[in-house]
Chain A
Amino acid sequence: MSLNATELDALRLTVSLAAMTTAILLVLSTPLAWWLSRRQGNVTAFIEAVVAMPLILPPTVLGFYLLLLFAPSTVVGRLWHELTGSQLAFSFSALVIGSVIYSLPFVVQPLQSAFARVPNSLLQAAATLGATPLDQFRSVVLPLTRRSFIAAASLGFAHTIGEFGVVLMIGGNIPGETQVLSIALYDSVESLRFEEAHSLAAALVVFAMVLLFFLYRVEKGGSWRIRA
């Protein structure tokens, strides 16, 4: 079971897409999840609903709207073209943006529930000891929620690897640019190259299994509890 050049390209592309998406998601989700965990009300509920949408919407719906948004004729498409000199639709960048939106709930939700478990009383104690809000976050919240960051990053990464519908809609199937593993697999099956399809499918199954096993180990192994 070895991979040919096209498949290796697809693998490289998939991993870099997932890595980049995860990095962007961690940066975006941390403040968003913190904000959501400390507030209640209509605005919060609305934002939470928007973040959770990719969980229920068929990926093709999301992909369809993103495709319309990324078209060269729209403001977004034009602006992108002016800034980078290339078109957004059917590009690797489009895949990154799509994946960030698509995997957002998988990173925000574990972080949000971990942040919500950090008692306000500890932050108050830190504040009276001279810690600014940023310092409180860095020296109290982050150490207490470290494991959840690992879980959130792994989920975001894995979910991006498994993406299909959105990629198909906004990325198409350009080898080396937008042809990720799941698309390459679909391509192989379509053209009846079952041998190739087998190796790709098996690789994905093994990857998913290893990652999930590792995740559950982390969660159960040392799940911390807060005692005030």
Chain B
Amino acid sequence: MSTLLINIRYTSGNDFALTMHCELPAHGVTAIYGPSGSGKTTLLDCIAGLRHPDLGSEIRLGDTTWLSPALTLPPWQRRIGYVFQEARLFPHLDVEQNLRFGLSRSGQKAPLTYDEVADLLELTAFRSRHVDALSAGQKQRVAIARALLSAPRLLLLDEPLANLDHAASRDCLRCLQRLSQELRLPMLYVSHDIEEVSQIADHLLLLEAGRMVEQGSLLSLCSRLDTHLSREEKAAAILTATVAGHDSTFGLTKLSVEGQTLLVNRLPDAPGLQRRVRVPARDVSVCRERPGDSSILNIVGVTITEVEDTDATRLLLRLSLGSQHLLARITRKSAVELGLRTGDKVYAQVKSAALLIETVDHT
């Protein structure tokens, strides 16, 4: 598999520095996640060639060199698609002309035709409209389509959902998920929203204050206790589950995870399909005995593999469920009263409402 090699140092006037030495997979969706000001956009700009890293920096995609001490390829020769936070559509052109802007300049056969892209991003209805007459969500989808039609080798997305309302952002995310499944186009997806990231990414790069903290597969990074992900209020583990069957009486779907069963609100999928399940740490509690009369449906047997102090009153537990992991945030008081220790076999209760069902896994 080819990779995207990034070996850069970028310094700007106001004492900000971005230093990055890493190799990212050149397939699937890699999320670049970090707080604002951590250098996410700067990193994308350097990859696109819109900013110039210090001398000695290197960027390579597969065997194509974009930046090396001897060569700086300008943005218009890198064949990258860049979807910015704002759509940046050309105001003097209508939707169709905006889309054709990249198409006519790529000099390459786009992996999808104009009609296929318009169809995939649900643009067919307003092709001939002026860009001012579009909603924010439509604009952003036009911007994504425009980038795709320039036949890019890498798609950069800089918080593409940041300026959209909930419904528009859901539509846009659905389109992006479909793209990532149907195209063999590597994407770098910048976001500071971990829920968004866990819906689309396969690979995760954590950035903090201009430095890479960690990179790895989304599933493994999310269940670790030693990254800043686990310290966030929204910390959650992500499990891969298989649809096992449906319970039509109560409108539920049975998911099988490592031989145990989780019940979630009814899904449209056929049994056998793989699904990602996001389980927030704050919605998981533990008990010593299997509770017999709880209103909580999902109770799974787990082993405590790690205990981490997060703050004065709370602890974070890493619970193994076969080869996968759950996180549980509990109070220090409960931990002491239950005498919880690493290695203990306990029962985890998961509120079924807390299970977020997301995309089909495409790794």
Contact = CB atoms under 8 A, between A and B. Distances in A.
Interface of A: 121-122, 124-132, 135, 139-140, 143-144, 224-228
B53 interface: no
A130 B76 contact: yes
Nearest to B103: A129
A140 B90 contact: yes
B90 A130 contact: no
Nearest to A145: B92
A126 to B, nearest CB: 7
B80 A128 contact: yes
Contact of A124 (B50, B101, B131, B147): B50
B105 A144 contact: no
B91 interface: yes
A12 B102 CA distance: 48
A135 B86 contact: no
B92 A135 contact: no
Contact of A144 (B48, B74, B91): B91
B147 A128 contact: yes
Contacts of B132: 227
Question: Top 5 nearest A-B pairs by Cβ distance?
Answer: A130-B105, A129-B102, A128-B82, A125-B88, A127-B75
Given A127-B74, A128-B75, A130-B150, A224 B91 contact: yes
Nearest to A136: B76
Interface residues of B, number: 28
A42 B50 CA distance: 25
A121 B158 CA distance: 13
Contacts, number: 68
Contact of A131 (B80, B91, B105, B147): B105
A227 B91 contact: yes
A125 B143 CA distance: 10
22 contacts: A121-B84, A121-B88, A122-B88, A124-B50, A124-B75, A124-B84, A124-B88, A126-B90, A127-B74, A127-B75, A128-B82, A128-B147, A128-B150, A129-B101, A129-B105, A130-B105, A130-B107, A131-B76, A132-B74, A135-B76, A139-B101, A228-B86
Contact of A130 (B84, B102, B131): B102
Counting chain A CB atoms within 10 Å of each CB, which of B75, B86, B102, B107 scores highest?
A: B75
B106 A130 contact: yes
A228 B106 CA distance: 23
A226 B86 CA distance: 13
B76 A143 contact: no
B146 interface: yes
B16 to A, nearest CB: 19
Interface in B77-99: 78-82, 84, 86-88, 90-92
Interface string B52-81: 000000000000000000000011101111
Interface string B216-229: 00000000000000
Contacts of A135: 76, 105
Interface string B32-62: 0000000000000000111000000000000
Contacts of A121: 84, 86, 88
Interface string B140-156: 00000011001000000
A23 B108 CA distance: 39
Given A127-B49, A130-B150, 19 more contacts: A121-B88, A124-B75, A124-B82, A124-B84, A124-B88, A126-B101, A127-B75, A128-B75, A128-B80, A129-B102, A129-B146, A130-B79, A130-B102, A130-B105, A140-B90, A143-B92, A224-B91, A226-B91, A227-B131
B150 A129 contact: yes
Counting chain B CB atoms within 10 Å of each CB, which of A122, A124, A129, A226 scores highest?
A: A129
Contacts of A143: 92
Interface in B210-255: none
Counting chain A CB atoms within 10 Å of each CB, which of B50, B106, B147 scores highest?
A: B50
B56 to A, nearest CB: 24
A130 B108 CA distance: 11
Given A126-B101, A128-B82, A130-B102, A228 B88 contact: yes
B362 to A, nearest CB: 26
Nearest to B79: A130
A135 B92 CA distance: 15
A122 B88 CA distance: 6
A132 B146 CA distance: 17
Contacts of A126: 90, 101
A36 to B, nearest CB: 22
Contacts of A127: 49-50, 74-76
